[in-house]
Amino acid sequence: MKNKLIPKTNFVCQSCGFENSKWLGKCPSCGGWNTFVEEIKRADLRPGKNKAARQSAPTLPQTLKEIEIRDDQRLMSGISEFDRVTGGGLVSGSLTLIGGDPGIGKSTLTLQLVDRLASSGQKVLYVSGEESPAQIKLRAQRLKVDSDNLLLLSETVLESVLETVHKLKPDILVMDSIQTIYRADLESAPGSVGQVRECGAELMRLAKTDNLATILIGHVTKEGVIAGPRTLEHMVDTVLYLEGERHHAYRILRSVKNRFGSTNEIGVFEMQEAGMVEVANPSQVFLSERTREIPGSTVVCSLEGTRPLLVEIQALVAPASYGNPQRVPTGFNHRRLSMLLAVLERRAGLNLGMHDVFANIAGGLKLDEPAIDLGIAAAVASAFKNRNADPDTAVVGEIGLGGEIRSVGQLDKRINEAQKLGFKRMIIPAHNTKDKYSDKIKLVEVRYLSDALQALIV
């Protein structure tokens, strides 16, 4: 009697994709605990063993002169905020990953996007593994999406999706979401590392060979990364994150990887009943609820990609009543706040050692640019002294450990943005004033933190 073949299994880390023959409590690659899941090894996909591999013909090398670039490589959506983030629209043959927390608005934004593209004559296939066509139609009616070039398909098997793509030959393909799609020849569950990795690789091959612009929607874990292996982010051409707080109406579409444009660009949207609405002037929106006459409030100009943003930074300083003082930042790095508090205490003479310090970037924004240092420090100093900062003055500057104000990049864009919103003064680093910027706004040059606080706090 012949022994039955026992399927070979591997243990795969669900965070980073590391494989091991035995179960491990801690992943040696990413350091995650209890992330290993047993998965059956995939079927033999070598050439000659797989139908898709036999059908694909080998490509021939070309010289640079032989490669032609078409003028219609960019697919403009007409949504200016999205086109800004992607560097001018989707690129034919590209693979774009849109990630975000569940319920943040990824499917809503994508449906509005493909409706604009379909209305311009592009043929779109929208594949949903989470919702039925009836559910998608209900959302489409709310968003007033009704293009005849938008085709819906409810399917989770990758082979069936590929067959439909070869029949319809669309210009744009949307997969919502990549965690629900699975290959039938893999035994692991949908959403596992093996399935996400193999499905992503197959869709990348499809996008490149058929010159098909493909959009993948992916969920984000509690740690803030795309669920599944990190190799998926390395595989795609563009990675976009949709950020925002559930209790705020504004959403930030941020580019963290883009092979066809600038990274760190952002687009600002407002979630309304009719869907995602573009915010043409984010600075004015973020400052619309600002209270002018209150200690602990300053306005700083940050640069996100090529876009200057004026945002309000709020601070609250109170005596610590319960043991160790608290340092609680919202919207920027915790260690940055600790460093700035140490500089304020050592270089500006503010005794903050026994005080709780809370600092917040209003509007739900997250900023990591060092140029906002001066705004954070000034807000904390204003709250500590209980004296108002000049409401008609904006600030910008990086703070060094010696208390010096260091220069920042692209100062002209920041000054022009402050001038547009009616600010009368702007405190800037002295090292940035080699050229003449503007006569309509007064520029105050400072070299040290103490000079900036003296000029700002009234």
- CATH number, position 160: 3.40.50.300
Within this chain, do residues 119 and 256 fall inside the same structural domain, yes or no?
yes
**Last residue in a domain, options 229, 254, 280:** 280
On whether residue 1 sits in a domain, the answer given is no
Within this chain, do residues 356 and 417 fall inside the same structural domain, yes or no?
yes
342/259 Cα distance (integer angstroms): 40
Within this chain, do residues 343 and 366 fall inside the same structural domain, yes or no?
yes
On whether residue 4 sits in a domain, the answer given is no
CATH code where residue 420 lies: 3.30.230.10
Please give the DSSP secondary-structure letter assigned to residue 45: -
pLDDT tens sequence across 175-218: 998 989 998 887 777 887 778 888 999 999 999 999 999 999 98
pLDDT value of residue 66: 81
Q: Which of the four pLDDT bands, split at 50, 70 and 90, describes residue 42?
A: low
Average pLDDT, the chain: 86
Q: Which of the four pLDDT bands, split at 50, 70 and 90, describes residue 159?
A: very high
Q: Which of the four pLDDT bands, split at 50, 70 and 90, describes residue 1?
A: very low
pLDDT tens sequence across 254-310: 888 899 888 778 899 998 888 899 988 889 888 988 887 889 999 999 998 778 999
Number of structural domains (the chain) is 3
Q: Is the pLDDT of residue 55 over 70?
A: no
49-88 burial: b if 16+ Cβ within 10 Å, else e: eeeeeeeeeeeeeeeeeeeeeeeebbbbbebebbbbbbbe
On whether residue 64 sits in a domain, the answer given is no
On whether residue 276 sits in a domain, the answer given is yes
Within this chain, do residues 247 and 185 fall inside the same structural domain, yes or no?
yes
Q: Which of the four pLDDT bands, split at 50, 70 and 90, describes residue 48?
A: very low
Q: Is the pLDDT of residue 2 over 80?
A: no
On whether residue 445 sits in a domain, the answer given is yes
Within this chain, do residues 237 and 338 fall inside the same structural domain, yes or no?
no
* Listed range (25-39, 63-77, 129-143, 413-427) with the worst mean pLDDT: 63-77
251 exposed, middle or buried (CB, 10 Å; 0-12, 13-18, 19+)?
A: buried
Within this chain, do residues 265 and 121 fall inside the same structural domain, yes or no?
yes
Q: What are phi and psi of 269, to 5 degrees?
A: -130, 155
Q: Which of the four pLDDT bands, split at 50, 70 and 90, describes residue 237?
A: very high
Within this chain, do residues 267 and 336 fall inside the same structural domain, yes or no?
no
159/168 Cα distance (integer angstroms): 14
377/454 Cα distance (integer angstroms): 12
Q: Which of the four pLDDT bands, split at 50, 70 and 90, describes residue 156?
A: very high
What is the extent of the structural domain holding 263?
73-280
pLDDT value of residue 379: 96
pLDDT tens sequence across 402-430: 999 999 988 988 999 999 999 999 999 99
263/87 Cα distance (integer angstroms): 9
Q: From its phi and psi, is residue 67 left (phi > 0), alpha (psi between -120 and 50) or beta?
A: beta
Within this chain, do residues 190 and 247 fall inside the same structural domain, yes or no?
yes
pLDDT value of residue 101: 84
Within this chain, do residues 166 and 24 fall inside the same structural domain, yes or no?
no
Q: Is the pLDDT of residue 142 over 60?
A: yes
CA 83 to chain centre: 14
Neighbours of 4 (CB within 10 A): 6
Please give the DSSP secondary-structure letter assigned to residue 371: G
Within this chain, do residues 146 and 273 fall inside the same structural domain, yes or no?
yes
| E-strand stretches of 15-89 | 19-20, 36-40, 74-75
Q: Is the pLDDT of residue 61 over 80?
A: yes
Q: Is the pLDDT of residue 400 over 90?
A: yes
Work out the average pLDDT over 327-337: 94
On whether residue 67 sits in a domain, the answer given is no
- The residue count of the chain comes to 458
The β-bridge partners of 75 are 90
CA 255 to chain centre: 5
Q: Who contacts 319 (Cβ-Cβ below 8 Å, separation ≥6)? A: 354, 355, 356
**What do you get for the CA distance between the two ends of the chain, in Å?**
93
pLDDT value of residue 52: 46
Q: Is the pLDDT of residue 348 over 50?
A: yes
pLDDT value of residue 221: 63
Work out the average pLDDT over 209-235: 76
pLDDT value of residue 250: 85
155/171 Cα distance (integer angstroms): 19
pLDDT value of residue 53: 44
pLDDT tens sequence across 377-392: 999 999 999 999 999 9
**Last residue in a domain, options 247, 280, 313:** 280
Q: Which of the four pLDDT bands, split at 50, 70 and 90, describes residue 359?
A: very high
Work out the average pLDDT over 64-87: 82
**Last residue in a domain, options 226, 256, 280:** 280
pLDDT value of residue 436: 60
Within this chain, do residues 198 and 110 fall inside the same structural domain, yes or no?
yes
Q: Which of the pair, 230 or 162, is modelled with greater confidence?
A: 162
Cα→Cα distances 380→286, 288, 316, 348, Å:
20, 22, 7, 12
pLDDT value of residue 223: 56
pLDDT value of residue 46: 45
Q: Is the pLDDT of residue 47 over 50?
A: no
Q: Which of the four pLDDT bands, split at 50, 70 and 90, describes residue 49?
A: very low
Within this chain, do residues 413 and 296 fall inside the same structural domain, yes or no?
yes
Q: Which of the pair, 149 or 274, is modelled with greater confidence?
A: 149
Cα→Cα distances 56→195, 421, 451, Å:
21, 58, 68
On whether residue 395 sits in a domain, the answer given is yes
Q: Which residue has the tokens 């300083």?
A: 317
Instruction: Tokens for 286, please give them.
Output: 């973020």
On whether residue 93 sits in a domain, the answer given is yes
